[in-house]
Amino acid sequence: MVRKRKQLPLLENILITDVAAEGKAIAKVDGMAVFVPYAVPGDVVDIQLTRKKNSFAEGRVVRFEKYSENRTEPFCIHFGVCGGCKWQMLPYEEQLKQKQQQVADNLERIGKVDLPDINPILGASRTTFYRNKLEFTFSHKKWLTEAQIAGGETFDNMKALGFHIPGMFDKVLDIDKCWLQDDLSNQIRNAVREFCLENNYSFFDLRNQTGLMRTLIIRNSSLGEWMVIVVFYEDDPEKREKLMGFIAGKFPQITSLLYIINSKANDTITDQEVITWHGRDHIYEEMEGLKFKIGPKSFFQTNSEQAYNLYKVVRDFARLSGGETVYDLYTGTGTIANFVARNAKKVVGVEYVPEAIYDAHENSRLNGIDNTLFFAGDMKDVLTADFISEHGRPDVIITDPPRAGMHNDVIDVILLAEPERIVYVSCNPATQARDLSLLDGKYRVARIQPVDMFPHTHHVENVVLLEKK
């Protein structure tokens, strides 16, 4: 017997009071925190609860009784459905205030260490069309919005090329215009979809693992170079050649046109062969005269302009005079390592992904940099006391770990190495704060600089300078 789910209550005329983690808003009802997306402080709303615990609840806004004065009109037609850019209704200056507060709250509440004043967040000069990489998914069955279902609209074509619906791995929203990447990205995606529809190409069925068209990856750089990667699930040479020829002919701006046949269960391409159909197998990015080679599998910060501002903060905090040995942990493709190399005696980079280390070597070679060394492997296994004995004690450590922060073993080795300064770059101030507390025995926080890499989202990057006590 299936137990009938209890209908949760509708809360009426509720005032939104604050912004919470993960970009949601907060209301207080009878002392209980209620979290809802797509609302801003000052809104008065009716909330349909979707989850209820003893101390908190979650819900969705079903009606706005009154709009906050501190609200702006979302600019994207897909707002509220696709799951990206959730803060479009929040004025950009207010977004920056909330991100600044998020950094302060995490460092104070979780870190519990002595802190200097936090520098004002570095906002982005461009808040739309700022990304240099997007990935779109083909689906044989597109996601219908509530408005489309309520309107009784019928669709002859249910194929989609767009973004996954948050929390639903097999649901894809058909995207007409995205404001994240230069508009040529929209033109390429829409043209590819129309071509595939007109020529009756099958779109991927994720559940049954069938279909020709799987994903479309578009990358670009500030130098005006474009990379397009078409990922097919099935291998149909005739249809493949016809589509690739169409893309090359319609978009001469594409400097790197590639394809992949990925017939495995997941979308990752790191283990797949990439075939160059037209042009180079890479594009270039540039910062301060340094060139960075970006391949189809390369990691590069997805906001090039703000990445440059972030790296300048890192270099400023490191205070290099030219005689230091620098360790760059979680170096990725060596972007930061190569960026600071001209100011250091030696830079040693460590990264888990071997392909990224290949790119790091290549970027050093490309720029005539000969004072960098790069090593691939799990950070906690590579960074050992023996490694430090072999390559020299670091005067400065730069670390830019993933969202989970640093492994305790890595922190232990850093404490053993005792560099004069640590520059800690983080995309997650909560785990950064946890790590700062573990380093507090030997290091004090000297400077803090938040950077907004992703406008209209709740995400924030933060750079902390630690100095030896």
Q: What is the DSSP string of 190-217?
A: HHHHHHHHHTTPPBPBTTTTB-SEEEEE
3-state secondary structure of 397: strand
**DSSP state at residue 86:** T
Range list of H helices, 49-182: 92-106, 146-150
Taking residue 268's Cβ as centre, other Cβ atoms within 10 Å add up to 10
CB distance 73 to 58 below 8 Å: no
| DSSP three-state, residue 358 | helix
Using DSSP bridges, classify how beta strands 25-29 and 44-52 pair: parallel, antiparallel or unpaired. unpaired
Q: What are the DSSP E strand ranges found in 226-364?
A: 226-232, 254-261, 275-279, 283-287, 290-294, 325-329, 346-351
**What is the structure's pLDDT at 442?**
97
- pTM for the predicted model, two decimal places: 0.92
Whether residue 427 lies in the annotated active site: yes
At 4 the pLDDT is: 58
Q: Residue 157: is it exposed, middle or buried by C-beta count within 10 angstroms (0-12/13-18/19+)?
A: exposed
Beta-bridged to residue 355, according to DSSP, are none
Angle, in degrees to the nearest 10, between helices 408-417 and 429-439? 50
Which residue type occupies 79? F
The pair of structure tokens assigned to 216 is 């479309």
DSSP 231: E
Per the DSSP assignment, residues forming a β-bridge with 131 are 181
Token pair 């933060």 is at which residue?
A: 462
Cβ atoms of 465 and 317 within 8 Å: the answer is yes
200, two tokens: 């009756």
Rounded Cα distance between 212 and 241, Å, is 13
Out of 76, 82, 178, 427, the active site residue is 427
Helices 183-198 and 237-250: crossing angle, nearest 10°? 140
pLDDT of residue 353: 85
**For residue 224, is it left (φ>0), alpha (ψ between -120 and 50) or beta?**
left
259: helix, strand or coil: strand
How confident is the prediction along the chain (469 residues), in pLDDT tens digits per residue? Answer: 445 567 888 999 999 999 887 789 999 998 899 999 999 999 999 999 999 988 899 999 999 999 999 899 999 999 989 888 999 999 999 999 999 999 999 999 999 999 999 999 999 999 999 999 999 999 998 888 776 766 666 777 889 999 998 877 778 999 999 999 999 999 999 999 999 999 999 999 988 999 999 999 999 999 999 999 999 999 999 999 999 999 999 999 999 999 999 999 899 998 999 999 999 999 999 999 999 999 999 889 999 999 999 999 999 999 999 999 999 999 999 999 999 999 999 999 999 888 889 999 999 999 999 999 999 999 989 999 999 999 999 999 999 999 999 999 999 999 999 999 999 999 999 999 999 999 999 999 999 999 999 999 999 999 999 999 9
CA torsion sign for 55, 61, 62, 68 is: positive
**Residue pointed to by tokens 């043209």:** 191
- CA–CA distance from 151 to each of 147, 204, 219 (Å)? 6, 27, 37
Question: 3-state SS string over 142-170?
Answer: ECCCHHHHHCCCCCCCCCEEEEECCCCCC
The helix (H) or strand (E) run that includes residue 359 is: helix 354-366
Report the b/e string of 95-122 with b at 16+ CB within 10 A. bbebbbbbbbebbeebbebebeebeebb
How far is it, in rounded angstroms, from Cα 448 to Cα 279?
43
Cα 39 from Cα 89, distance rounded (Å):
8
Distance between CA atoms of 375 and 131, rounded to whole angstroms?
A: 29
pLDDT of residue 55: 87
Supply angle C-alpha 305, 360, 216, rounded to 5.
Answer: 60
pLDDT of residue 8: 87
What pLDDT was estimated at residue 150? 67
- Among residues 346, 468, 343, 451, the alpha carbon closest in space to that of 400 is found at 451
Model pLDDT, residue 21: 72
Residues in the chain: 469
pLDDT of residue 1: 46
